[in-house]
Amino acid sequence: MKVPDANDLAHRFNHHPPRTAAVAADHATVRGACAGLAATIVDHCPPGREQALALTKIEEAMFWANAAIARQT
């Protein structure tokens, strides 16, 4: 496995603002879809550890999806 260099780390940890309105719209679409799924989980699953974990995993999926959009070159 390649050891990350300074450029790799900068790419991973720097802010990647949307370059275009289309990219901003992609972020909004992902956030909306994840928010909808989260609302469904809250509406149809009883409160508790499992519901909390499901919501956390949705947040993680949203993070990684938005990172994929933001980091594209």
59 located within any domain: yes
Q: What share of the chain is helix, strand, coil (3-state, %, to 5)?
A: 75, 0, 25
66 located within any domain: yes
55 located within any domain: yes
pTM equals 0.84
2 band by pLDDT with thresholds 50, 70 and 90? confident
1 located within any domain: no
What is the domain count for the chain? 1
Tell me what the pLDDT averaged over the chain comes to: 94
pLDDT tens per residue across span 34-67: 999 999 999 999 999 999 999 999 999 999 999 9
More confident residue, 1 or 18: 18
- 73 pLDDT more than 80: no
Alpha-carbon torsion angle 7, 13, 19, 23, nearest 10? 120
Find the domain containing 25 and state its range. Answer: 6-71
32 located within any domain: yes
Helix, strand, or coil (residue 45): coil
64 located within any domain: yes
